[in-house]
Structure 1
C-alpha cells in the first residue's frame, strides 16, 4: 500500500478490523451467556463492605477532606516543578533569572500555605 491513498487504506483496514473484533466479541458474549441468568433475591441490593445498607442513599461529605486533597495536589505539583529546576540549575545560562523565577513561584505557594495555616484549615478538629 504505497502512495497517497495507501495510508488511508491502511487506516480503513485497521478500523474495519476493530469493528469486526468488537462485533465478534459481543456476538460471542450473546451466544455463550445463559438465556435466563439466575438471580438470587438479594443480588441487586447495594453492597456496603458486607454490611447491610441502612438508611437512605444520600450522605453529606465534609468539605475539609476536599481542602486537604486540594492542598496535597497543589504541593505535589510544586514538587514536580522544583525537581527539574534543581537538576538544571547549575547548567550554564541559568543564573539569577532562574533563581528569581523559582523564588516567585515558591513565594506564591508559601503565601498559600500561610493563608491556610492562619485560617486554621490544616487542623483536624
Structure 2
C-alpha cells in the first residue's frame, strides 16, 4: 500500500533552507569560538594581491566599470533564461502534444535575444564600450536666425576689450585712493515704497 507523503514540496524546500541556515550559523559560531584572535597591524592592513597598500582606499573610481558590469549582468541573465529554454525546446513530448510548440518557442527566443542585441548595439554605437572616450562632438542646432546676426553680435562683443593686468597700474590706483580724502557716501532712497493694505473689517 502506497503511503501518502505528509510533507509537500514547499515543505521540503523550507526544511532545506532551515538546515542550511543552521549549518552556516553553527560553522560561524565554531570558527569564532575556536579561532585565535590576535590582531596586529599586518593583519589589519588591506590586502592588495601581496603588494604593499599605498595611499588611501578612498579614491575616485571610474564609472565605466559600472557600465561594463551592467552590460555583463544583462547578458548573464540572458544566459540564465536561454539554458532552461534550450533543454525543453526540442522536447518530443511537447511537440507531439502541439506541433506549434517548436516554432512558437523559437520565435519567442529570437524576440527576446533580439531586444538584448538591440540594447548592445545601442551601447556600442553610443561609445560606452570604448575605454578611451572619443572627442566630444559639438551638437548642431537648426535655427531660423540668420548667421549674419550671430556674426554682428560677435563683432560687438569683440569691441569691448579686456585690459591687461599690470602691477604698476594697480599700485598707482591704490596710491591715488590713499591720497584722496574720504567722502561721505549718501545712501540712496529706495525706488519704490511698499504699501500694505489693511484687511477690510468683517461686516
Q: Same fold (TM over 0.5)?
A: yes
Distance 1:46 1:112, change over 3 A: same
Q: 1:57 is paired with a residue of what secondary structure?
A: coil
Moved more, 103-112 or 93-102: 93-102
Task: Give the TM-score normalised by the residue count of structure 2.
Answer: 0.38
- Structure 1 unaligned regions, length at least 5: 1-17
Q: Secondary structure at the match of 1:55?
A: coil
| TM-score, scaled to structure 1 | 0.57
Larger radius of gyration: 2
Equivalences, count: 99
Larger % of helix: which? Answer: 1
Shift of 1:72: 1.3
Deviation at 1:99, TM superposition (A): 2.1
- Show structure 2 runs of 5+ residues with no match: 1-22, 133-203
Q: Give the alignment's Cα RMSD to 1 decimal.
A: 3.6
Cα-to-partner distance string for 1:8-47 (whole Å, 9 max, x where unaligned): xxxxxxxxxx9xx89x969x66xx969xx6x76x447623
Q: Are residues 44 and 87 of structure 1, via their aligned partners in 2, closer, same or farther at CA, if it must alter by over 3 Å?
A: closer
Q: Which has the higher contact order (CA 8 A, sep 6+)?
A: 1
